[in-house]
Each structure stands twice: as C-alpha cells, then as structure tokens.
Structure 1
Amino acid sequence: MPFSRLAHATTPTAHIGLGLAAVGRPGYINLGREDDLPAERTVDALRLRTHELLDAAYAQGVRYFDVARSYGRSEEFLADWLTARPGIDDVITGSKWGYTYTADWSADAETHEVKDHSLRTYERQRAESAELLGDRLDLYQIHSVTPDSPALTDKELHAELAEAAAQGTTIGFSTSGPAQADAIRAALAVTVDGEPLFRTVQSTYNVLETSAAPALADAHDAGLTVIIKEGMANGRLADPYAPEALKSVAAETSLGCDAVALAVILRQPWAGVVLSGAATATQLASNLHAAVVDLDEDQLARLADLVEKPQAYWEQRGQLPWH
C-alpha cells in the first residue's frame, strides 16, 4: 500500500500531512480564520494560497496531502499543483467521498455540505475525483462514518470499493462524532470475500478528545494506517484560544501551543500520519515543529487533565460558526 513509503521517510516531518479543508473553500469552522485567509476569498486567491502551502509543505518534508469532495475546490487545487510539478512523484494523495459541497463558494450559505453514503453517491463522486486526480489518487475514504452509516452494511458498495482496491486504490474511512470508537470497530469487521475492506482510518484525536484511542490502537494492530485529523480541535488548541495549561507547557518548550498539541499525538504508537490543517505558511512551519518537541511526564500529565467528555466536545464543535 502507498503508505508504506512513509516507513522509510528520511525527514521527521514526513509523518505530518497537510489537510486542505481550511483553504479549499471560503467558509469553514476553524477559529481565527478571518485573519488567516486573504480579505477577498476568490477562487484564484485560495488556489494561490493552497499552492503556497503545498510548496512549503513539500519543501519541509511533508508527503501526504488530504482533500475531499466536500472541501470546495480542494481536489482541483491539489490536481493543478501536481500537474504543474510533474517531477514530484513521491507524494501520497488521499481524498474522501460521502459529502457533497453545496455552498456554491459562499461563506454564508445556509447549508455547506450534505452527507450521503449511498452507492449512487460513491459512483458519482468517484468519477468526479478521478476526473481531477486520475492515477494520482492513492487513497479514497468514506467521509465521516458513524455507527449507523449505511456504508458499513451496504454489500453492493463494499463490492465496488473492493474492485477499486483491486485496481490499486487504497480504501479507507474517516470518523466523526462521540461514537468514533464504535464506528471504527464496526468498520474493522467489514470484509469482502473474507478479506478486510479498509486499510486506513482517519479519526479526530487531540488533547481534548481522546475517546477513539483504544479503537485506533486496535485498528493499528489490525494493520491499518491511522491518520489523525483535527489535532488542533479546529483552532481551540492554538493561540490565542488554547487553554492555560497548554500555553504553560508551550512556554516551557519555547514552541507554539500548536506544536505541543500535535506532538502529543505524534507520541502515540498507533499514529501513522498526523494532519496539519494550516491556512498559512507560518502556521504550517509552526505545526511542523511538533516533530522535535520533547515532553516530560509532568507536562504530559498536565495536558492529560484537559480531556473533555466526548459528548461535550462534539456539542461544542457543532456550535462553531462557519465563517
């Protein structure tokens, strides 16, 4: 599988990926976004910002890039970048299907995305992703699987996903919500002709929301590559929004709150790739310092006290405004 390339990475930042959720569309829920993006959030302005981030990430050793059909024009921006740099052949590209972007390039839309895990949606979005990314699409993931998702039980869908896997595309899934652990374990049980269907899992894990950890460890033990998203809790763990305990530990390391928050995740033995959701090159550079953060047991214990109950965490996330 393509993620095996990361096992031989020569730079410490290779296990940090770049997700384009925050720059592929004009509206998103990350805190501080009004200061991070250009004043005019045109398609061309965000395309340029995305390419600047991709250039900076690649130059600093990042080799995994993460997009989705619902991240506005993120697939298009990434495809343009890859086309303009034909000599770059050592990156891994992952996308997701299952949400349709409906905001029509507006930050004020009433509905930004619509979820549908049906076979019909997969077939439509797979064709859309293939048109943009072609054979550069290494990983295709079901977007935000929950325990009640029909994607876990739809045998026709499983057969088509298995066919895509047979043709060389790695098949994975992502999770969201307070029952991530249940969704992960249910997905681990999905097989086609006696073989596990999924080879990767992408889940939310950070110092505030750790409930998926045991299930992610199980996934790792089962041979899946674990990708971690929302390590910054949509900006809640970055300055100036970070809790005081995180600010205190960051001050002791002389690095940013973001680097410390991501470093905690990198310490987990099951974490294969940790995503940066940076919207600026400065944020990205700060995020990448996570690879060299050294935390002692006292600091880790103080950060462990920040854990929230999953229901409370996801309720607060659900209240973050699109802006």
Structure 2
Amino acid sequence: MSTLGGSGVEVSGLGFGGAAIANLYTEVSDDQAHQAVNTAWQQGIRYFDTAPHYGLGLSERRIGAALREHPRSSYTLSTKVGRRLEPVGTVAGDDLASGFAVPAEQRRVWDFSADGIRRTLDASLERLGTDHVDVVYLHDPDDHAEQAFREGYPALEKLRAEGVVGAIGAGMNQAGMLTRFIQDTDVDVVLCAGRYTLLDQSALAELLPAAVARGRSVVIGGAFNSGLLADPKPDATYNYAQAPAELLDRALRMKAVAERHGITLRAAALAFCAAHPAVASVLVGARSEAEVRDCAEQFAARVPAGFWQELRDTGLLSADAPIPTEEPS
C-alpha cells in the first residue's frame, strides 16, 4: 500500500479501473461485472476507480453494488467530476459514440463550476451507495482549464478541508496540464493515462520529476495504451484508435524480447509503470474474472534485469526511465 501525497489515503499497488465493466464498446452483464470486482478483491486489490462518464453512471452503480459486501473502511474509492449527467427527454439510440454500449438515457454536461462539482459528487455518491469517496479527480479538463483552475480546483480543496473527501487531484490523458496541477496547486495526486508506458514516456520529462520534488503521487492508467501493449497485432488499438505501423513494430519487438526472457509483455508493461518512485498505483481496466486474474498475475511476476538491459541496448527503452530493481510487493 502507498499513501497519496500527504493525504493519508492509501492505495494498493494495483488498482481496478472501472471503465471496462461499464459496457466499454461491448456489453458486460451485471453478473460478469460483479465477478470482475469480486475477483479483484480476492487478488488483493483495494483501490477502485470509477467516473460518471463511464457508461453514463453504470460503472459507479456496478462498483458500488459489488463493494457493498465489504466494510467501507477496507478499500479506497475514487471517482471524478467535471462531466455532470442530465436526463434526456426521449431516449434515442445508444452511447457508443462516447464508447459505451448503454442506452443514451442521459447526456454529459461539461461543468467545472463549484456548484457543478458538488452536484456531480452528490449524484455519484447516490449511484455508489456510499456516504463518501476517498479521492476525487477533475476529469479531463483539457478544454476547460480556466474554469477548472479558477472554480473546480478550489471546490475540491474546500471539500477536502471539510473532510468530505480525503484526497483530491486531476485525471487526464496528457502530462502537460497535470504538471501544472502539481506545480501550481495543492493536489495530493494526479491520474495520468497513457503518457507513461513502455511506448510513451512523455510524463518523464516534467510531470513525474515534479511529483517527486513536491511529494505528490501519480496514479498511472492506460498501461497497455488501450491494447497495443497487451496483445500487439495488426488490428490492435493505441490510444483507442488503430495502432500506427511504427508503434506496432516497436511493440512486437518488445514482445519478442519479453518472450526470450520468459515473461509476457503485459508483465513488463505493468512493472515499468510501477517502477517510478512517484507512482503510487497502476490502474488496470478489466471486464471479466479471467482478465482481472491475469492482470494480477502479470503484476506479481518478476521481470528479469536482463530484459530491461536488452530493451536499453536495442534502443527500445530510454536510459532515463527508471526500471524495477526488485519484485513488486
């Protein structure tokens, strides 16, 4: 377990990301989602992350229902604010345009205002069936920076001061604005998706060093870059789109090195993310019991030093990137 910044909120080294069980791209049954969360618990995962955006609230409802079987003090729960859900008058089609196979019964409204933050969090607590969450992130404020810093962040700071939440931060698919949150605010943690992986180390330039310098924590999402590092093949996705040929070739070369050293590329991808001293937890999105079990097994696998050395010798990994020096705890 690691503590997020100076908050006192603890997270397990491997966390459960709740997007996949919210019918990401394809439907997942209630029972399948329940089993995925239960298996995560059985594998020792004690950090669960969700958001209203995921399946228009479906992820929050499913995670809340599954975790209700356990004492509230025995796990850490995070959700996000910035996309407020509003009911629509007439349901027309599904939400697949946003990536989720659910009826479009609600619409997302960007809202980083202080009132919007409170309303969004209240609705999340109702869906989750709990009286508090441990961590709240500003969710994807890329195009709303002015309101997020002027209104959204102070609202989270007030919630933390009131004891409503234990830790606050921002979650994004970029490193630049997250670095600004680390340097210019008093966030405890940032969630960086896809920008610190075996294929993309852009967070290494400023974000991760800034987090170390200021005693802040980083949670890593998108360790597999949406699929390419999990199973590199011609139709694999990278950042939720068709993987470019150059990156596919790079991933295949890494996979060949992994196989020569008797490990999987998945194990290496997770170990790499977890190795940086700023990183408190690595989130994995899984939609089934089997996927959760596999992620837990890969996270626990020992990656030999020779693997990392060969990646560096062949130019597949920067010499500046920290590598694991011991087995994950």
With normalisation by structure 2, the TM-score equals 0.74
2: CA distance, partners of 1:66 / 1:151: 24
* 1:133-172 equivalent positions in 2, closer than 5 A: 133=128, 134-146=130-142, 149-154=145-150, 156-168=151-163, 169=165, 170-172=167-169
CA positional deviation for 1:117: 2.8
Deviations 1:59-102 (A, max 9, x none): 1111111101101111111111122x144632100111113568
* Aligned residue runs from structure 1 range 90-109, under 5 A: 90-100=74-84, 106=94, 108-109=96-97
Out of 280, 284, 287, which is 1:276 matched to?
284
Distance 1:137 1:110, change over 3 A: closer
Shift of 1:48: 1.8
What is the alpha-carbon distance in structure 2 between the residues aligned to residue 283 and residue 200 of structure 1? 27
Q: Which amino acid aligns with 1:20?
A: G
The offset of 1:203, in angstroms, is 0.3
Partner of 1:249: 257
Give the share of equivalent positions with the same residue, in percent. 25
Q: Residue 299 of structure 2 aligns with which residue?
A: 290
Tell me if 1:60 matches 2:52.
no
Counterpart CA distance in 1 for 2:13 and 2:3 is 13
1:58 shift after superposition: 1.0
Correspondence for 1:208 among 181, 199, 213: 199
- Which of 231, 243, 246 does residue 239 from structure 1 map onto? 231
1:6-155 matches, within 5 Å, as: 6=10, 14-27=12-25, 41=27, 45-72=28-55, 73-83=58-68, 85-87=69-71, 89-100=73-84, 106=94, 108-109=96-97, 115-133=110-128, 134-146=130-142, 149-154=145-150
Instruction: Call closer, same or farther: CA 1:47–1:150 in 2, change over 3 Å.
Output: farther
Question: Match of 1:185, as an amino acid?
Answer: T
Report the Cα offset of residue 201 of structure 1: 0.5
* Residue type of the alignment partner of 1:285: R
Superposition deviation, residue 236 in structure 1: 1.2
- Asked if 2 retains the 8 angstrom alpha-carbon contact of 1:117 and 1:150, the reply is no
- CA distance change for structure 1 residues 270 and 302 in 2, over 3 Å: closer, same or farther? farther
Rounded Cα–Cα distance in structure 2 between residues aligned with 1:250 and 1:292: 12
- Between the aligned partners of 1:68 and 1:19, the Cα distance in structure 2 is 10
- After superposition, what is the alpha-carbon deviation per residue over 1:10-65, rounded to whole angstroms, capped at 9, x for unaligned? xxxx30101011111343xxxxxxxxx6xxx2xxx532222111111111111111
Aligned with residue 187 of structure 1, among 181, 191, 197: 181
Matched-pair contact (CA < 8 Å) for 2:136–2:156: no
Q: Gaps spanning 5+ residues in structure 1: where?
A: 8-13, 28-36, 308-323
Deviation at 1:114, TM superposition (A): 5.5
- Secondary structure at the aligned position of 1:173 is classed as strand
More strand by share: 2
Query: 1:173 and 1:280 mapped to 2: Cα distance?
Result: 27
Structure 1 pair 114–262 and aligned structure 2 pair: CA distance change class (3 A): farther
Contact 1:97 1:122 in 2 (8 A): yes
In 2, Cα distance between the equivalents of 1:260 and 1:111?
Answer: 28
Post-superposition offset of 1:171? 1.1
Structure 2: distance between partners of 1:236 and 1:92: 29
Partner deviation per Cα, 1:127-177 (whole Å, 9 max, x = no partner):
1112233334110100123386124431x4343222210132111111224
- Following superposition, the deviation at residue 251 of structure 1 comes to 1.1
Cα RMSD (Å): 2.9
Q: CA deviation at 1:185?
A: 2.6
CA distance in 1, matches of 2:314, 2:78: 31
SS in 2 for 1:269: coil
SS at match of 2:282: strand
Residues matched between the structures, number: 276
Distance 1:293 1:64 in 2: 22
Segment of structure 1 superposing worse, 15-24 or 274-283 = 274-283
Q: Residue 80 of structure 2 aligns to a residue in which SS?
A: strand
